[in-house]
Amino acid sequence: MFCYINDENFMLSKEELLKRVEINPDIMAGKPVIKGTRIPVELILNLLGQQLSIKDILDDYPHLKKEDIQAALFYASSVIHNEEIIPLAANQ
């Protein structure tokens, strides 16, 4: 099991971080969001992809914590890890 140290020096497991992500059909049409917010995981990933720093994201979204950004990354990693790729045969 992986453990991560947050700013308060508490050990957080990957599972504990993933508990910060919520999927509820009544919130943002069921998109994964950070629990207790309407901030989609997708938005956090897009901001990181645009090279915003974690500090900038936290400044722009004061309801988020560093662990929420880690949770978004782990959630995306878990989704991709469980993705099944089925190659299609090329038309000849």
Split into its structural domains, the chain has a count of: 1
Identify whether the C-beta of residue 53 lies closer than 8 Å to the C-beta of residue 66: no
Q: pTM for this one? A: 0.79
pLDDT at 38 over 70: yes
Quick one: what percent of the chain has pLDDT higher than 90? Answer: 65
**Cα of 3 vs its chain's centroid, Å:** 16
Asked whether residue 31 is assigned to any structural domain, the reply reads yes
Mapping DSSP to helix (H, G, I), strand (E, B) and coil, where does residue 59 land? helix
Residue 91 lies in a domain: no
CB-based contact 11:3 (threshold 8 Å): yes
Indicate whether 59 belongs to any domain: yes
- Give the CATH number of the domain where residue 67 resides: 1.10.10.10
Above 70 in pLDDT, residue 82? Answer: yes
In a domain, 88, yes or no: no
